[in-house]
Chains A and B, each alone.
Chain A
Amino acid sequence: MAASHAPPASVAAATDGGIEENAMAILDSSGIKDSRDLHDDRVAFLEAVRSACLAADNPSAPSWRMYNGVFQILRNSSSLELAVASFHLLTELGKQYPRTYVTDSSGHQSLMVVKECWLPFLLGNGAVSSEIGGNVRSSDHLFDPSRFSLLIEAIVEPTNATDDDNGIKAIKNMMLFQYLVNTLEADFVPRHIAYKESLDWVIFRESLLNMLLGSRKLMFKSFVKNCMFILLNQYHPEAKDEVEDIVPSERKAKSASDHDFSLNYSSFESERTLVSLRKLFVMVMKLDLIRKEADTLGLTSRADGFRNPIMEIILDELTYNSSYLSPFLLAFVEGKWKLEIILQYFSKYCGKGPVRTRRRSDNSQEDLKLESVLSFFLTATSANAIVKKMGAEIAQLLLTHAYQVCLSVQDVTSNSTATSEKIGATLQEISSNFISAFQNIRKASPNIRISPFEKEALFTAATLIRKLKSEER
């Protein structure tokens, strides 16, 4: 989003004047014992930063310490009000003073990174250089890779929401996660733009996302599993019921207690957390593709380390726990990547040759299109062979989700071309092959149950075929 920005004002600006001193003085808690006063001070500090850095006639960028102070409030405060206020302030500051951005000079786009700009992450060698003005103590609450994965674990853990403090903590964790993902994205998007032009792997080697996930301090596999768990929990019936019970009572505004509010707010935040999670997944998938590209071009070195592609981990999880499949495909709404996951899942079972080489450079794996997957189901015998391997119900489920992606990319959007390549046939062909695939699966296992979702898909396909045929005439 932050595609092209004017270079931000000098980062040191706020440090020069007395603004920083004054703002930081507000936070000085020596001599204050009442927690109410502390709270008010923090509110005043956030206000001061906002007015100096965003609302002033001539706003200046926040200094490292000011930024840090705001983030500390988000991390440490026990009040929802402060958490929300600091979250929004951080978000707006990030938009106003981007750390990573693209400059467009005479049609050539180059990447700019304000290295000295404050970051919520602690990456690389782990020490903040002294000229930034922070000593080691002031950075010990920043997120290094292991703390980032701990945050996810904390979100996964079922919190006892009846406890008010716990409720706020859960909300705060979700907001922290959203902010961190937004920061990763703000760094990722301009790099992606610059990369498209230069195809320079270094751009992504230095990306926050790559440094964060490539670190040995983060167990990537369990990290992804935890993320998937959060996504899957969205369709957890108990959690859903609880939320639905609360909503109507909350709406009877007068009787709603603070407790109800925080629970209701929590469900709102968990929805946004899911959005952030999917955003993160898509970014990692993109990063993995770029990494693969760089690998084949020989641009990576041993220093880049090795990390399993996220797709492999997801596929493994879905293969070993087939009950995850349906909720995951429902939760993961990003069509292009959903189709990719489905195709790769099929490719495990529909491979032409019995031997799959470990090396990926032969490109055979990527070439599997939905059209060719469907063609495996065109005769009863071949359908039978696959169904025996992967299970009839799973095959139906995957095909149905893939078909839904086909339908949703049928309008003229910018990135649909790449997806239609993955589909590889016209809608009419796909629709009729989809129906005959179901017929052949049923021949292979006559007693199979067709879920309502699949029935709706079949009916849609049949209606579309009629419609498209009548247009031809």
Chain B
Amino acid sequence: MVRDEPLDFENEDDPLLPTARPAKRSKVIGLDDLLLDYLQSSKKDKLKVKAAKSKRGPKGGYDSGEEDDKSTQQEIAVCKIFEEVQQKGKVMDARDDVPPWGQQIFGCQKPPSNLSNVGVENCQLLQSFSAIEGLGFDLEMHQGEGFLEGMLLDGWLLNLVRICGFVEDSIASWTLTNLLHSSNEKLQVSAANFWDGILSLDEAGKPLVNLGYLPSYSVLKRAMLSYGYLFDTPGTKASASGSTAAGGSDDGLPHNIIAWLGVVSACCKIRVTVDLNCLRIVDCITGMNKRSKFLRSQVALQLLKISFGLKVANVEKMLKLVTSINVKEKECDFFRLYVYLVLMDNLLFSSDAFREKTAIVDAWRNYLRNCSTQIGCTD
């Protein structure tokens, strides 16, 4: 990062901020998404875990407020970091809209600790082998992981899991570890395919596979740390820049980052319940600069897409769907409508992207006007 750029006044103006800023890079959208995905998935994990723990308890729904508070704390913390970064970014944005290129996002990469001891050899799948007869070959226990790797590489594992509709926790976590940390590219790609497969939905929008294990916030974060991601908080900045200046040979883009992004975004495609969480996610993004506004608009768009089942291709069609909700009908779900309204509002007015598309904005205004006249005060 130590670059001789005597003519770069941007940096001279603010000598305290010379280092990489995650939110500012040529691939900024990707990184913003990344952070956001982070939030979403961690939230969902928590929700899922909770739902699983309280088995058939009242699930999710609109009364999840209290529960959410806990689960969103972590998220809010990240959001704050994010905001700070955004604020700092804004200072620079005011003077210069051109994002600096070549900023370093990832510093020193270190191999994550205690990976080897996952104990996948003891999974039920492999244990069941001894009960099977007549296959014509034997499997030693110590070959278990290698055999499982083969099954993963050749696609058998995914087929098996998909047909059974169930995946053991130990296998799920083992494949995730491979996805996040394996340096074997083929294994990593296969693991990514596996996760992509088990996280996908069938035509009715139900998950194909019953998952007890989902990538948790801590696992994802540990991976990020081992990739050397420079969490750009005020406290760590000095040390981060110090370590990168002395950066070892491990600098550069971490190999597994694409898979990381893949699994996180796949996590986010699992149907989000339409509830206050959606609004919270959007609200979390508070920055006022162009980029965070755009991010907010895009997040709202994605959430709307998910709640309409991913079949709606563009904003026009989505608008049509939302505006086709007849508020006079008895079964009209006002809560849902409210969520849609807020998301739509964020989508359309957070960024400048729709400023010129007057047709869309007009249609939206009309609908709002109708809503305000047609909905009785009692509702």
Residues of B bordering A, CB below 8 Å: 125, 128-129, 131-132, 134-137, 139, 147, 150-151, 154-156, 159-160, 162-164, 185, 202-203, 208, 249, 251-253, 255
Contact B156 A439 (CB under 8 A): no
Contact B134 A435 (CB under 8 A): yes
Question: Contacts A251-B252, A459-B129, A463-B128 known; A427 to B134 CB distance under 8 Å?
Answer: no
Given A412-B202, A458-B135, A459-B147, 14 further pairs, Cβ under 8 A: A251-B253, A252-B249, A407-B163, A408-B159, A410-B163, A438-B136, A450-B136, A455-B150, A456-B150, A456-B151, A460-B159, A463-B160, A464-B164, A467-B163
Is B185 within 8 A of A253, CB to CB? Answer: no
B164 in contact with A460 (CB, 8 Å): no
Whether B252 lies near A460 (C-beta < 8 A) is no
CA distance A427 to B164 in the complex (A): 12
For B125, B150, B252, the residue with the greatest tally of chain A CB atoms inside 10 Å of its CB is B252
In the complex, the chain A residue whose C-beta lies closest to that of B160 is A460
Contacts of A439 in B (CB 8 A): 134, 136
Could you say which of A252, A404, A442 contacts B252, with CB atoms under 8 Å apart? A252
Question: Once the chains are docked, how many angstroms separate the CA of A408 from the CA of B252?
Answer: 37
Residue of A nearest to B183 (CB): A248
Contact A464 B136 (CB under 8 A): no
Interface pair B163/A427, CB less than 8 Å apart: yes
B150 near A452: Cβ-Cβ < 8 Å:
yes
A220 to B93, CA, bound (A): 59
Across the interface, do A463 and B125 meet the contact criterion of CB distance under 8 Å?
Answer: yes
Chain B residues within an 8 Å CB radius of A247: 185
A333, closest chain B residue (CB):
B155
**How far is it, in angstroms, between the C-alpha of A464 and the C-alpha of B163 when the chains are bound?**
8
Chain B positions within 8 Å of A442 at CB level: 136
Q: Which 5 A-B pairs have the closest CB atoms?
A: A407-B159, A462-B132, A460-B156, A252-B252, A456-B156
Q: Does A196 contact B (CB under 8 A)?
A: no
Question: Smallest CB–CB gap between A102 and chain B, Å?
Answer: 18
Do B163 and A459 have beta carbons less than 8 Å apart?
A: no
Q: B162 near A411 (CB under 8 angstroms)?
A: yes
Cα distance A287–B284 when bound, in Å?
A: 54
Would you mind naming 20 contact pairs between A and B with Cβ atoms under 8 Å apart? Answer: A244-B185, A251-B252, A253-B252, A404-B154, A407-B163, A410-B163, A412-B203, A439-B136, A452-B147, A453-B154, A456-B154, A456-B156, A458-B137, A459-B135, A459-B139, A459-B147, A462-B135, A466-B128, A466-B131, A466-B132
Q: Which residues of chain B are within 8 angstroms of A411 by Cβ–Cβ distance?
A: 162, 202, 208
Where the two chains meet, the residues of A that have a C-beta atom closer than 8 Å to any C-beta of B are: 244, 247-248, 251-254, 404, 407-408, 410-412, 427, 435, 438-439, 442, 450, 452-453, 455-460, 462-464, 466-467
A427 to B135, CA, bound (A): 18
Nearest-Cβ distance from residue A270 to partner chain B, whole angstroms: 16
Q: By the criterion CB–CB under 8 Å, are A252 and B134 in contact?
A: no
Is there contact, CB below 8 Å, between A435 and B135? Answer: yes
List of B residues within 8 angstroms of A464 by Cβ: 160, 163-164
Q: A247-B185, A467-B164 are in contact. Are A252 and B251 (CB under 8 A)?
A: yes
CA of A462 to CA of B129, assembled, Å: 9
> What residues of chain A lie closer than 8 Å to B134, measured between beta carbons?
435, 439
> B132 contacts which chain A residues (CB < 8 A)?
459, 462-463, 466
B residues near A467, Cβ cutoff 8 Å: 163-164
Closest CB-CB distance, A57 to chain B, in whole Å? 10
What's the least CB distance linking A159 to chain B, in Å?
A: 24
A457–B163 CA distance with the chains assembled, in angstroms: 14
- Residues of A contacting B185 in the complex (Cβ-Cβ under 8 angstroms): 244, 247
Compute how far the CA of A185 lies from the CA of B139 in the bound complex, rounded to whole angstroms. 47
A412 to B200, CA, bound (A): 13
Question: Using Cβ atoms and an 8 Å threshold, which residues of chain B touch A252?
Answer: 249, 251-252
A412 to B204, CA, bound (A): 10
A441 to B133 CA separation, bound complex (whole angstroms): 16
CB distance from B286 to the nearest CB of A (A): 33
Question: Is A460 touching B135 in the complex (CB atoms < 8 A)?
Answer: no
Q: How far apart sit A438 and B253, CA to CA, in the bound complex (Å)?
A: 46
Report the Cα distance A427→B251, complex, angstroms.
Answer: 49
Q: Which residues of A contact B131 (CB under 8 A)?
A: 466
Say whether, besides A427-B163, A463-B160, A455 and B137 are in contact (CB < 8 Å): yes
Q: Which residue of A lies closest to B202 (CB)?
A: A412
| Set of chain A residues within 8 Å of B252, measured between Cβ atoms | 251-254
Docked pose: A467 CA to B136 CA in angstroms: 20
**Bound: A247/B183 CA distance, A:** 12
A404 and B159 contacting across the interface, CB-CB below 8 Å: yes
A351 to B301, CA, bound (A): 57
The CA of A27 and the CA of B202, in the complex, are separated in Å by: 51
State A198–B134 Cα separation when bound (angstroms): 53
- A458 to B135 Cα, complex, angstroms: 7
Nearest residue (CB) in A for B162 is: A411
B161 smallest CB distance to A (angstroms): 10
